[in-house]
Structure 1
């Protein structure tokens, strides 16, 4: 199910839960996106940001004992829009204005959020 406007987008995927990560990868590929990563740790994601061309990113807020905020900051500095994905309602106040998807979410919700994110970049 390719989604108009998402085909060929290079999406950094940051997620530490293996099963969730596999589901998100599958959805992104079905939408026509190119998955960059995935990364499960902050350092791994920061390295990918330095090496890869990115259009948008999907960041799990909680990465084990780490939080993805340093990744968000680096993406912001580079002008790459991102979506926060979390199973928890609380996000640090300085990121509360960022697009967010509450886990679990459907493929339709995910596609809509990515389409909105891409539109915001244009």
Structure 2
């Protein structure tokens, strides 16, 4: 699958191993290289260690929310998508980035992440 994600490095922040593997496969099929982080500290460490072009961030990670990761992505100018199965869509912080509701399809994830990247490029 050739897509807007082709050749990009994507940070995937996801605590559910099966979901992380599936998202990694979706990124691979879209031509992107995924790095998996399973919690907030691991994600922040990855962001310090290398430069990413985009990110897919699960909002709820092992009982904590991933806002510190979102804040770090914003500070670095990295477009991201929030993935969540249970969020209050009225929360103002959820308006800062596109949200994909779990369960989502591979096509939906690639489309929304691609749009986030395109919007960041135009900004």
Interval of TM-score (by shorter of Structure 1 and Structure 2):
over 0.9
Deviation for aligned residue 1:106: 0.9
Corresponding residue of 1:117: 116
Aligned mates of 1:120, 1:48 — CA distance in 2: 24
Whole-Å Cα distance in 1 between the matches of residues 51 and 96 of structure 2? 25
- For 1:51 and 1:97, locate their aligned partners in 2 and report how far apart those are by CA, in whole Å: 25
Distance 1:45 1:97 in 2: 19
TM-score of the two chains, using structure 2 as the length reference: 0.92
Q: Which runs of 5+ in 1 are unaligned?
A: none
Cα separation, 2, equivalents of 1:34 and 1:18:
17
d(CA) in 1 for partners of 2:87, 2:46: 27
Where in structure 2 are there 5+ consecutive unaligned residues?
none
Partner Cα distance (2:72, 2:62) in 1 = 20
> Are 1:21 and 2:20 counterparts?
yes
SS at match of 1:96: helix
Give aligned pairs, total.
120
SS in 1 for 2:96: coil
Cα distance in 1 for partners of 2:93, 2:58 equals: 16
